[in-house]
Amino acid sequence: MQINVNREKPTCNCGVFGIFGSKNASLETYYGLHALQHRGQEACGIITKSISSKGNPVFTAHKGEGLVTEVFDDHEIFQKKLVGNVAIGHNRYSTTGSSESLKNIQPFIVNYRLGNLAVAHNGNLTNARVIRDELVHEGAIFQTTSDTEVILHLIARSRLDGQVEQIKEAIEKIEGAFSLVLMTDNKLIGARDVNGFRPLVIGKLNDAYIITSETCAFDILSAEFIREVEPGEIVVIDDEVLETGNIKSYRISDLYEKQNHCIFEYIYFSRPDSFIFGHNVDKMRRRLGKVLAKNHPVFNESDEKVIVISVPDSSNTTALGYQTELEKLGVNCKLEIGLIRSHYIGRTFIQPGQINREIGVKIKFNTVKGVLEGRTVVIVDDSIVRGTTSKQLVKLMREANPKSIHLRISSSPITHPCFYGMDFPSKGELIAYNFNSNVKDIADYLGVDSLEYLTIDEMLEAVSEAGKENFCHACFSGEYPTKVDHNFKKEIYEI
């Protein structure tokens, strides 16, 4: 049985990338997707636009299941197949739509009244089921089980004449989370929902323009960051923009007074070297660690050093913030590398009966015994979802004979589902839901000497430079910033 042992963290987000005006558009999209691999590892795809010998625009796609390096494993794909100076690409986990279906791999293309149109989507539409049912009732035939296809149908059915107007009309009908890149016969278009749940940024590479999920995709190309796509904004790049340098901008609706950025992007999901929601992720993640230490320190009764370690790699930055603040509080402490993570896991073979045993965690982690032995150890992690991995990890660490193990979590207990593109298991599988958020009971289950989470107020305090009120925290609080369909099940779409 092949399982993905990386999936103990929240999954199901995606990465999008689009570039306009570069002769190496497909190769640059490949590098961009490579930098965004953390946002989706199940499948990926690139679509390019070139001009045929008869002068007509031609859209060409290459997609497949697996990592970017697996799907694009032959340089001839870039030299002979994906030619043209405009491209969009997508890395995916499944959101709505079966992860098994090849048809659901984005970007999607249609050819309609006004020409070709391709789309790549990060997020999740909360009213997709209602719109889809209406469209099917009116005779629409869907090719995929993904919510993203709804957007293409709405655009293609518009009676308006301009493509930007059609896209604006379609976007005004959809609700929920979307950061989109779209490619038409002569434009690259970016659009972001009014809440700004997911990031979307604009950059420049020589004369070409890029629209993508995170700025780390600029860095791999040495591209320059220009600005973020505003929540509720549509931006258009075309030949005129290449000449004038003035990006065309349209509003989906008036700017909301407040946004609802996904706080999980700062806690765990985005790369620490990215700049999103107006701030460096690294800075916000360190602040989460600092606030965690300030409110939930670990003291050592003797004068021996407290050893702070991270669960690599996602909580490295948070652990750094935690140790810095703990030291400021006067605690004799040191940041150490106590866990080594294997970076070569991929999809690993595990015997069915072994899934819940230590092998899953041992494939991924090992302890540095000399660091842990006889020490008071603080292990900093960003979140606990099911708790099975944390429990196995603690068991593994016990084998190194530490004096005590204290777990500190830089988010609140996850108790509710996300309807905006992050995939948590069902409520019944969430450890915090199962233990009614009773931290003492969770600590006993995990086998740690102490456990502390950030409260929701503490999380918001940590990100307050970006505006406390500008964050969604629904998976911790149950306070959804938009109307959601609580009966929604993604299986509804699966074929």
Stretch that binds ligand SF4, among 34-42, 186-194, 247-255, 470-478 (CB under 6 A): 470-478
Task: Please count the other Cβ atoms lying within 10 Å of the Cβ belonging to residue 342.
Answer: 12
Least Å distance, CB 168 to ligand SF4, is 24
If one asks whether residue 43 binds ligand SF4 (CB under 6 A), the answer comes out as no
Question: Contact 176/126 with Cβ under 8 angstroms?
Answer: yes
- Which is nearer to ligand SF4, 275 or 480 (by Cβ)? 480
Stretch that binds ligand SF4, among 18-26, 251-259, 306-314, 468-476 (CB under 6 A): 468-476
If one asks whether residue 448 binds ligand SF4 (CB under 6 A), the answer comes out as no
Q: Which token pair is 226? A: 């220009």
- Which is nearer to ligand SF4, 28 or 193 (by Cβ)? 193
- Which is nearer to ligand SF4, 346 or 478 (by Cβ)? 478
Separation CA 77–CA 71 (nearest Å): 10
If one asks whether residue 474 binds ligand SF4 (CB under 6 A), the answer comes out as yes
Stretch that binds ligand SF4, among 61-69, 184-192, 272-280, 471-479 (CB under 6 A): 471-479
Task: Please count the other Cβ atoms lying within 10 Å of the Cβ belonging to residue 94.
Answer: 23
* Burial of 176 from C-beta contacts in 10 A (0-12 / 13-18 / 19+): buried
Closest C-alpha among 143, 145, 189 to residue 166: 189
If one asks whether residue 264 binds ligand SF4 (CB under 6 A), the answer comes out as yes
Active site residue 333: no
Least Å distance, CB 364 to ligand SF4, is 23
- Which is nearer to ligand SF4, 264 or 277 (by Cβ)? 264
If one asks whether residue 484 binds ligand SF4 (CB under 6 A), the answer comes out as no
Least Å distance, CB 232 to ligand SF4, is 17
DSSP alpha helix (H) spans, 81-162: 128-137, 148-156
Separation CA 438–CA 100 (nearest Å): 36
The verdict on whether omega for the bond into residue 147 sits within 30 degrees of 0, i.e. cis, is no
Among residues 12, 14, 333, 475, the one annotated as catalytic is: 14
If one asks whether residue 167 binds ligand SF4 (CB under 6 A), the answer comes out as no
When binding is defined by CB under 6 A, the residue of 178, 275, 322, 420 that contacts ligand SF4 is 420
Instruction: Count CA atoms closer than 13 A to 468's CA, side-chain side.
Output: 8
Strand 471-472 relative to strand 261-262, pairing: parallel
If one asks whether residue 418 binds ligand SF4 (CB under 6 A), the answer comes out as yes
- Which is nearer to ligand SF4, 405 or 454 (by Cβ)? 454
Looking at the DSSP bridge assignments, the partners of residue 191 are 180, 234
Amino acid at 238: D
If one asks whether residue 197 binds ligand SF4 (CB under 6 A), the answer comes out as yes
Least Å distance, CB 37 to ligand SF4, is 20
**3-state secondary structure labels for all residues of 8-21:** CCCECCEEEEEEEC
Separation CA 470–CA 466 (nearest Å): 7
Question: Contact 418/389 with Cβ under 8 angstroms?
Answer: no
When binding is defined by CB under 6 A, the residue of 473, 482, 484, 490 that contacts ligand SF4 is 473
If one asks whether residue 422 binds ligand SF4 (CB under 6 A), the answer comes out as yes
Binding mask 244-263 for ligand SF4 (x = CB under 6 A): ------------------xx
- Which is nearer to ligand SF4, 367 or 411 (by Cβ)? 411
First-to-last CA distance in the chain? Answer: 23
- Which is nearer to ligand SF4, 420 or 493 (by Cβ)? 420
* Burial of 435 from C-beta contacts in 10 A (0-12 / 13-18 / 19+): middle
If one asks whether residue 454 binds ligand SF4 (CB under 6 A), the answer comes out as no
Separation CA 482–CA 491 (nearest Å): 22
Separation CA 120–CA 86 (nearest Å): 14
- Which is nearer to ligand SF4, 17 or 420 (by Cβ)? 420
Task: Please count the other Cβ atoms lying within 10 Å of the Cβ belonging to residue 169.
Answer: 17
Stretch that binds ligand SF4, among 184-192, 248-256, 342-350, 472-480 (CB under 6 A): 472-480
- Size, binding site for ligand SF4 by CB under 6 A: 11
Catalytic site residues?
14
Note the residues at the interface with ligand SF4 (CB under 6 A): 197, 262-264, 418, 420, 422, 472-475
